[in-house]
Structure 1
Amino acid sequence: MADDRNLQIAAQQVRQALSDKGQRPSIAGFFDEATNTVSYVVHDPASGEAAIIDSVLDFEAASGRTSNGSADRIVEYVTSNDLQVAWLIETHAHADHISAAPYLQEKLGGKLAIGRGIIRVQEVFGKLFNAGTDFERDGSQFDRLFDDGDRFHIGEIEATALHVPGHTPADMAFIIGDAAFIGDTMFMPDFGTARADFPGGDAGQLFRSIRRLLELPEETRLFLCHDYKAPGRDEYAWETSVGQQRAHNVHVRDGVSEEEFVEMRTTRDRKLAMPALIMPSVQVNIRGGRLPEPEDNGVSYIKIPVNAV
C-alpha cells in the first residue's frame, strides 16, 4: 500500500484529528432492529453542520406500505440539536433496507451522495428489473458521485471518500475526522465480514478493500452499517477500531491470507439466504431511494423477477 496516495491522505487526516479535538466529529447512531441497520448523524460540534449516513425507510413487505418512524427519529435529533444537514450519504446501494434519503432531504435539505460505482450497479439491476429506457443508468438520481480520494468537509472537519468494492462495486468508506464509516465491508470483530456473492461482488476484491482500510491508524474509529449479535453476545454493537479488527476479526485479522479469506467467504456465501428485502431495496435504492414511477392508476409497483436470480 506504499503507493496508495489517497489512503495516505486519509491516514494523515485521521492522525491530525487524533491530535486536534476540533477535527473529531460528534456521532449519533440509530439502530433499526427490523433490518439490523445502523444509521448515523455525524456533525461538526463547532458549526453544527452534519451528514446523515445510511438512513432507513420503514417498509412492510406483506402490505407494501412504507412509513417514516426510523427517519423521524433522525429528524427529531437533527432539529432538537439545531444541526444543518449538508450531506445525505449512502455507503452503497443497500440490499437489506430502503433508503429514507429523499424523505430526509425534503425535511432537512442536504446533497444526496454515493460512490460512482452506482452506475455499474444501475446497469446490472436495471436489466434484471427490466427498468426500460426511462430509467437513467448514469447516477443522475444523486447530487454527487464520489470517486476514490475525493475530499469534502462537514463544517470544518475534513473528510475523504475511499472506494472499497467487493461487497458491491459501489461500496465506499467515508473517513470523517478520526472516524471511518465503512458500510458493508466488516462487521464487529466477533462476526467477521460482509458477503460478496451479489452481482458485481468479489471476495478477493473485498479482502483487498478491507486490508486497505486496516492500513489506517489503529486508533481510527470504525462505524459499521450492520450488527447481528454474534453467538455469545447479547447486545448489539456497531463501533470498533482498526486495531481491534486487525487483532480479533474472525475472518480477516492479521495473518489471514487472501486465499484463505476467499475460500472461507465463498464457502460461507453459498449457504446464505438472500436478504428478505433485496428486491424492493435494490429496486428503490438504485433510484436514490425513490419509488418507481407510478403507473397510470397512480400506484408505484415493485417488480419481483421470477426464477431470474
Structure 2
Amino acid sequence: MSTHDTAMKNATTQIRRALDDKALKPSIAGFFDEATNTISYVVHDPATNEAAIIDSVLDYDAAAGRTSNGSADLIIEYVTKNDLTVTWLIETHAHADHISAAPYLQEKLGGRLAIGREIIRVQEVFGKLFNAGTEFQRDGSQFDHLFDDGETFKLGTLEGIALHVPGHTPADMAFIIGDAAFVGDTIFMPDFGTARADFPGGDARQLYQSIKRLLSLPEDTRLFLCHDYKAPGRDEYAWETTVGQQKRENVHVKEGTSEDEFVEMRTARDKTLAMPKLIMPSVQVNIRGGRLPEPEDNGVSYIKIPVNAV
C-alpha cells in the first residue's frame, strides 16, 4: 500500500472513531478577520486543554506599512481565559492574503511552529521573485517542524494526521484532528466553490485531485475552511461544512464533476481574478515563518514590491 493510501486509510479510521466517541472530538473556536476574510482556529483537547492555533492573522496596514496585533490578541485572550496550553502553531500553507501572527503568538503562548515540507519549493520560487539573496535559507528552517504527507501528531489525547493537498500552492496541507479537517484554501463553502490555482506552483489538476482526496473522507467529517466571502444570496459569513455537503452541493466540484470540466472552469475563472491585495507583503513574510525580512543597516525592515514581474 502506498504512503498516500495509508494516510487516507489512517485518516478515515481516525475520523470514524471520533464520530463514534465524543471524547475524541476536539473543541474548536473560529476567529473571523473581515479585513482578509480569513478564519483562524483554536483547536483543543477537552481532556488535557492542549491546543493548536491554525492560520493566525497579523493585522497589516499596507498604506502605512504598519503591523498590529488586535486579531492575535483576541486569540491570546481566548487561550488565557480557557486555561489552554498551546503546543502547535500550524500554517496550512504560505498565505497570499494575510500575514501570519505565529511568531507573535509563539512569543506570548509558546508552541511549535509547523507547516508542510513542500514550503521549501515555495521558498525557492518566491525567494527568486523577491531577490532574497543567499542569506534567506530555502530549507524550511524558519519553522520548528515540517509535516510530511500522512504524518501523525498528538494534541493531548487526540490524534492528528497531516495530509498533503497541493494545487492552490505546492505546499498546501490539511490537518485532521479527531473528526475535524482544517483544509486551508483547497475548498470554500459549497455555494462559493474552490480555491484558485494560478499562483506560481499552483495546478488546477492537482487541486481537483486534492479535493477529491478530502471528499473521500467519511461524509460526517467536519470541514473547517480558511476563508469565506459570502456567496451571492447569502448574508452571513460561514466556515464550517461537511464532506457530505460538499459532495452534494459544491458549485465547482460536486459529485459528477469530471477533472477536465473542473480544470476548464478553474482555468477560465482564475483568468478573471485580480491578485490578492496583500500578496506581496504576505508571501514575502510568510515564507519566513511570519517574520519580517531582516532589518537593513538603518534598523528598518523593508517589504519589496517587484515591478512588472508577475
Q: Under TM normalisation by the shorter chain, which class is it?
A: over 0.9
Aligned equivalents of 1:95 and 1:50: distance in 2?
A: 25
**Distance between the aligned counterparts of 1:12 and 1:189, measured in 2?**
25
Match of 1:224 in 2: 225
Matching of residues 16-55 of structure 1 within 5 Å: 16-55=17-56
SS class of match (1:271): coil
State the match for 1:105 in structure 2. Answer: 106
1:83 aligns with: 84
Structure 1: where are the runs of 5+ without partners? none
1:196 is aligned to 197
* Residue of structure 2 equivalent to 1:139: 140
Task: Write the distance in 1 (CA, Å) between the matches of 2:64 and 2:298.
Answer: 18
Cα distance in 2 between the residues matched to 1:108 and 1:275: 30
- Aligned letter for 1:83? L
Partner of 1:129: 130
Q: Percent identity?
A: 81
User: Residue 4 of structure 1 aligns to a residue in which SS?
Assistant: helix
| 1:5 Cα offset (Å) | 1.3
> In the alignment, which residue of structure 2 is the partner of 1:296?
297
Q: Deviations over 1:169-197 (max 9, x none)?
A: 00000000000000000000000000000
2:250 aligns to what? 249
Which amino acid letter does the alignment assign opposite residue 242 of structure 1? V
Looking at structure 2, the residues matched to 5 and 107 of structure 1 have their Cα atoms a distance apart, in angstroms, of 37
Query: What displacement does 1:293 show?
Result: 0.3
Correspondence for 1:68: 69
1:4 is the counterpart of 2:15: no
1:92-148 per-position Cα deviation (integer Å, ceiling 9, x unaligned): 000000000000000000000000010000000000000000000000000000000
Helix, strand or coil: the match of 2:46?
coil
CA-CA distance at 1:51 after TM superposition: 0.1
> Within 1, Cα distance between the matches of 2:5 and 2:246?
21
Note the C-alpha offset of 1:239. 0.1
CA distance in 2: counterparts of 1:253 and 1:185, whole angstroms: 14
**Aligned-partner residue type, residue 73 of structure 1:** L
Deviation at 1:273, TM superposition (A): 0.0
| Counterparts of 2:153 and 2:180, CA distance in 1 | 14
**Structure 2: which amino acid aligns with 1:94?**
H
Offset at 1:212?
Answer: 0.3
SS state of the match for residue 181, structure 2? strand
Q: Which amino acid aligns with 2:121?
A: R
Instruction: Give distance in 1, aligned partners of 2:13 and 2:193.
Output: 27
Partner secondary structure for residue 188 of structure 1: coil
C-alpha distance in 2 between matches for 1:225 and 1:112: 18
Q: Kindly tell me the number of residue pairs found equivalent between the two proteins.
A: 309
SS of residue matched to 1:127: helix
Deviation at 1:60, TM superposition (A): 0.2
Counterpart Cα distance in 2 of 1:158 and 1:20:
13
Post-superposition offset of 1:288: 0.1
Q: For 1:251 and 1:5, how far apart are their aligned partners in 2?
A: 28
Q: What is the CA-CA distance between 1:4 and the residue it aligns to? A: 1.2
Q: Which amino acid aligns with 1:200?
A: G
**What SS does the aligned partner of 1:29 have?**
strand
Question: Which amino acid in 2 is paired with 1:38?
Answer: I
**Aligned-partner Cα distance in 2 for 1:23–1:47:** 12
- Which amino acid letter does the alignment assign opposite residue 182 of structure 1? V
Query: Structure 1 residue runs of 4+, over 4 Å off?
Result: none
Q: TM-score, normalised by structure 1?
A: 0.99
* Equivalent AA in structure 1 for residue 305 of structure 2: I
User: Could you list the runs of 5+ residues in structure 2 that have no partner in the other structure?
Assistant: none
SS in 1 for 2:77: helix
Matched, 1:235 2:236: yes
CA RMSD, aligned part only?
A: 0.9
Q: Distance in 1 between matches of 2:221 and 2:270?
A: 29
